[in-house]
Amino acid sequence: MTERETTPLTVATINVNGIRAAVKVRHEGNQGMLPWLESTPADVVLMQEVRADEKQTQQALQPALEAGWHLVQAPATAKGRAGVGILSKIPLEDVTIGFGHSNPEIPEAREFDDSGRYIEATLAGHDVRVASLYLPSGSANTAKQDEKYRFLDAFAEYLNNRAALVASENKELVIGGDWNICHRRADLKNWKTNRTKSGYLPDERAFLDHLLGTFPDEATQVGDAEDSGRTGNPGGAAGDFFGAVEYTPGETARRRLEAGAASDPHYFDVVRQLHPAEDGPYSWWTYRGQAFDTDAGWRIDLQVATAGMCERARRANNAWVDKAAAYDQRWSDHSPVVVEYS
């Protein structure tokens, strides 16, 4: 590796749940996102659900931009929805929005070009590209779940192609974001009661098997004895596409199912690689009930990286969820997931 490839780098990913709301001062003990930006060790902050146009985002983050942060953004065409962005202390180059342009053989990928769900850029002076992802949340038995399955089809093809291209360019890639899927039982506190809910459906989890493999398990948890219980998984099995309304799996979905879990993956769930035996650490808690106080959370905010970056994370061995000390100190229903890369 060259010197520029090994410059230490700290990356955070956070679903801000609306940037204009995130920066608001709620009370003396909760000054919003801006003080967090002043204190975070992160060099790069990957943001999701920005829910603002570029002018509104720049206004919300003006103090941070004046302090030297660089901003690139991909707002959604639909106002007040989705939106991703990258804040970086390092200048950003070669910015690309969406992923349909790289999949001419998959025209359905163009559906998401203007949806504010993916932005990617190179860090100047580093052989590293960073990306912010806001994967559709879905909702079983609604059109939102169809949209999510279509996204998984197109995005899987993009990621498979992207791995080879990044390697040919002698670069590494970190995709941080709200992936809206819990891969394993350890990623969801109340997994048994959520098996029919979007975010923990068999075909969603099988998508992550295909991308990341089954680490630290020897085989997939999808459909195993514990997952199914005595009467089967009420959310179906991989290939059932439970919760779809009009979605019909096409060739890309069939190819992914046939390939199954990656035995030699190109991408790695960095936090899970560093914390293989831990429940969580969770990054999202519903505002309802006492979920935050009892840590009844979901681990859906991931940093997924290519092999070289994963190795750098292993060397640094420092990844954490920057969880607020108390419920009323939160400025989002998500908490930042931070990883140090040596």
Count CB neighbours of 279 within 10 A.
15
Catalytic residue among 127, 146, 153, 178: 178
187 in catalytic set: no
At 102 the three-state DSSP class reads helix
334 annotated among ligand-binding-site residues: yes
As a whole number of angstroms, the distance between CA 100 and CA 341 comes to 29
Beta strands in the chain (DSSP E): 9-15, 44-48, 70-74, 84-88, 92-97, 118-123, 128-134, 172-178, 267-269, 301-306, 319-321, 337-341
94 annotated among ligand-binding-site residues: no
As a whole number of angstroms, the distance between CA 220 and CA 231 comes to 19
Residue type, 232: G
Q: Which two tokens stand for residue 287?
A: 């505002």
Residue 179 φ/ψ, nearest 5 degrees: -80, -15
Count CB neighbours of 328 within 10 A.
11
As a whole number of angstroms, the distance between CA 53 and CA 127 comes to 29
For residue 128, list its beta bridge partners: 172
Q: Which two tokens stand for residue 264?
A: 């030699």
At 37 the three-state DSSP class reads helix
Please list, residue by residue across 42-53, b when 16 or more beta carbons sit within 10 angstroms of its beta carbon and e when fewer do.
Answer: bbbbbbbbbbbe
113 annotated among ligand-binding-site residues: no
Catalytic residue among 183, 210, 266, 334: 334
What DSSP designation does 231 have? T
334 in catalytic set: yes
15 annotated among ligand-binding-site residues: yes
180 annotated among ligand-binding-site residues: yes
Catalytic residue among 118, 134, 149, 158: 134
160 annotated among ligand-binding-site residues: no
Q: What residues act catalytically?
A: 134, 178, 334
Binding-site annotation, residues: 15, 49, 178, 180, 333-334
Binding-site annotation, residues for Mg(2+): 15, 49, 178, 180, 333-334
